[in-house]
Amino acid sequence: MVRVQHEIQGIGMSEIAARYGTPFYVYDGENIKRHYQRLRKCLPECLEIFYSLKANPNISICALLKSLGARAEVSSLAELMCALKAGTDPRNIIFLGPGKRMEELQACLEHRIYAVVAESLQELELLDKICAERKSGMRVAIRINPSFEVKGARLMMGGRPRQFGIDQDQLEQASAFLASLKNISIIGFHTYMGTRILDEEEVAHNTLNILTMAENLARLLKIELEMVDIGGGLGVPYYDGETSIDPVALGERIAPHIQAFHERHPETRIIMELGRYLVAESGLFVARVLYTKESCGEHFVITDGGTNCHMAAVGIGSFVKRNFPIRNLSNTAGNEKLTCNITGPLCTPSDLLAKAVTIPKAEPGDLIGIENSGAYGPSASPVFFLSHGYPAEVMVLNGEVHLIRERDTYSGILDRMRLIPL
Ligand SMILES: *Cc1c(COP(=O)(O)O)cnc(C)c1O
């Protein structure tokens, strides 16, 4: 796919910085469109794409993806309301997560979303009770923690002890319990194996396993399969040596499994949930260099936006610090290169956006850009550390710059606090 450049649709990053200040995230709306449409074309038609808002919960991102045909997978009340406000048809919303609160379950019922994905036997019982009290039905899917091991995921969500879903063998023993739930309709199964899968064959392998498991469980538990959610977890390359998923190859590998299942169950909705894959590569994080200095022989570039805005760049989950693609957006000529550590404003040595990267020499005032930053950005970062707050978020669409989230201000942050009389 086209990489995000220091100009997006002809708009320079310095222009956006001048208008909205730094640090900020900028999303290339046209790139999101191209990327989505390319994937859509490659996947079997009967496979529905649900956008996992968790990856980037901004309402304009959600609305853009919705306008392209994406449905929504949400995990909190705010995400649910965001998807609805973005115009998503409730029949195209599912709600999942291991710790749903009562008011969230009630909201699912109230807004008549397509399905709640239950993650424990207790949750099933609670849902049944809520429906009994309200004299209303509800479609419920069950998230399975499968007995088989997932292939290819960088972060495992199933196939081992996890707080997610119900163990496959526990569910297999639970047919009497399920039959006792008279007020909800169990409509199918969900499995999310893990994230950052970069191998098409492994996605296909997982898909086949999940579809087969769903069929077997439905038979065993006498459930009419109205939906199967095969998860997703498609990755994007962040580090050297990683390569993108090829949507054509992905489509070719999974189509036979999806089609065969679809022929056996023509009425069953088949859902794929994608977060990162839909947005990551269309986002750029931009921070301004405040100072440069040397310490014990190493060069440091200190910016106004560190891991408080972009925790993912730290590379959680790996023992060796690996760098996201990072560039000096102001000095693209790059005559003089320098190996440096790029840090932020936090008072901790772990505030390290990049370690020992070689980029064109940075000066105070330069803009530093981290690519592939459209997913798990500020919403997955400790934005309140040192009370800096949320950075600005901007989308470029059809050649125009739109502010899609205002930067937090100190007064906004202070307003949330209460000064008690002493
Ligand atoms: C986080 C999550 C997703 C989205 O994962 P990505 O790797 O961003 O695509 C989808 N489904 C579930 C259940 C999740 O927890």
Top-ranked range on mean pLDDT: pick from 192-196, 240-244, 287-291? 287-291
Q: What is the pLDDT of residue 154?
A: 61
Q: What is the pLDDT of residue 226?
A: 98
The single-letter DSSP state of residue 3 is: P
CA of 412 to the centre of ligand 1 (A): 31
Determine which of 26-30, 179-183, 190-194, 293-297 has the lowest per-residue pLDDT on average: 190-194
Q: Which range marks the domain in which residue 379 is found?
A: 7-26+281-415
CB 97 within 8 A of CB 75: yes
CA distance 57 to 175: 37
Q: What is the pLDDT of residue 297?
A: 97
Task: For residue 43, tell me if it sits in a domain.
Answer: no
CA distance 338 to 354: 13
Q: Looking at the structure, do residues 255 and 114 belong to the same domain, yes or no? A: yes
pLDDT in tens, 345-381: 999 999 999 999 999 999 999 999 999 999 999 999 9
Q: What is the pLDDT of residue 319?
A: 61
Question: Is the CB of 274 within 6 Å of ligand 1?
Answer: yes
CB 255 within 8 A of CB 261: no
Q: Looking at the structure, do residues 160 and 230 belong to the same domain, yes or no? A: yes
> What is the number of the ligand 1 atom nearest to the C-alpha of 376?
8
Amino acid letter, 130 = I
Structure tokens at 116: 């709640």
Q: What is the pLDDT of residue 2?
A: 35
* φ, ψ (nearest 5 deg) of residue 392: -70, 155
3-state secondary structure of 407: coil
Residue the block writes with tokens 């998230």: 143
Percent of residues, the chain, with pLDDT higher than 70:
95
Task: For residue 71, tell me if it sits in a domain.
Answer: no
Average pLDDT, the chain: 93
Percent of residues, the chain, with pLDDT higher than 90:
87
Q: What is the pLDDT of residue 194?
A: 81
Question: Is the CB of 195 within 6 Å of ligand 1?
Answer: yes
Question: Is the CB of 270 within 6 Å of ligand 1?
Answer: no
pLDDT in tens, 180-206: 999 999 999 999 888 888 999 999 999
Q: Is the pLDDT of residue 240 over 90?
A: no
Residue where a domain stops, chosen among 232, 259, 274: 274
Q: Looking at the structure, do residues 233 and 350 belong to the same domain, yes or no? A: no
Q: Looking at the structure, do residues 260 and 288 belong to the same domain, yes or no? A: no
Whose C-alpha lies nearest to ligand 1, atom 2? Answer: 52
Q: Looking at the structure, do residues 184 and 267 belong to the same domain, yes or no? A: yes
Q: How does DSSP assign 283-335, residue by residue?
A: EEEEEEEEEEEEETTEEEEEES--TTT-GGGG-TT-SS--PPPEEESS--S-S
pLDDT band at 5 (very low <50, low <70, confident <90, very high): very low
Element holding 34 (H helix, E strand): helix 29-42
Task: For residue 125, tell me if it sits in a domain.
Answer: yes
CA distance 30 to 28: 6
pLDDT (mean) for 45-50: 98
Q: What is the pLDDT of residue 414?
A: 97
Q: Which alpha helices (H) appear in 22-101, and where do they start and end?
A: 29-42, 59-68, 77-85
Question: Is the CB of 229 within 6 Å of ligand 1?
Answer: no
Q: Looking at the structure, do residues 285 and 269 belong to the same domain, yes or no? A: no
Residues paired with residue 284 on neighbouring β-strands, in sequence order: 26
Neighbours of 263 (CB within 10 A): 9
Neighbours of 150 (CB within 10 A): 24
Domain count, the chain: 2
Q: What is the pLDDT of residue 389?
A: 97
Residue where a domain stops, chosen among 274, 304, 321: 274
